[in-house]
Amino acid sequence: MYLLSKYLLLTTFAILTFGCNKEKCELYDYLVIGKWDWIETVYPLTGKVLNPQTEGLTMALEFSNQGLVKGYTNDSLCYSIDYRIEKYSTDPDKYEFIFDSELRAQFRLVEDSMFLNSAYNPYDGGPVGLYLRLE
């Protein structure tokens, strides 16, 4: 069963990496659904690293199939906003979340991890969060 899960995960990753069309956005919509636990946030220009131990709190994101994301801090609901996934404006091979119709964050899925770049321009040193799938 473990080998089958690994195979399906690798196949999905290959599809995400090499395909580029409307179906790919829909596949990303499906793959982000679930709860994601915050592992750390890194500020690339300064090297500063934040995590649950340094901050004394836990955070999680929960994406629904109705285009809603909920943010939790210490297991308490902090916000619930709409989201959608689109191709990144300057690189059609990358994708981004658009939250509440205006806030943007580029993201990348690797196995059960999600890297979320909160800076609109990924070269300006904005924070990059790492989340691990819970469900």
Q: pLDDT tens digits for 76-118?
A: 999 999 999 888 767 767 788 889 877 888 888 888 999 998 7
Domain CATH for 57:
2.40.128
* Residue 111: domain span: 2-133
In Å, how far are 21, 76, 90 from 98, measured between CA atoms? 18, 23, 15
pLDDT digits (tens, 9 = 90+) for 28-75: 677 899 999 999 999 888 889 999 999 999 999 999 999 999 999 999
Instruction: For the full predicted model, state whether its pTM sits above 0.85.
Output: no
Burial class (CB in 10 A: 0-12, 13-18, 19+), 63: buried
Provide the domain count of the chain.
Answer: 1
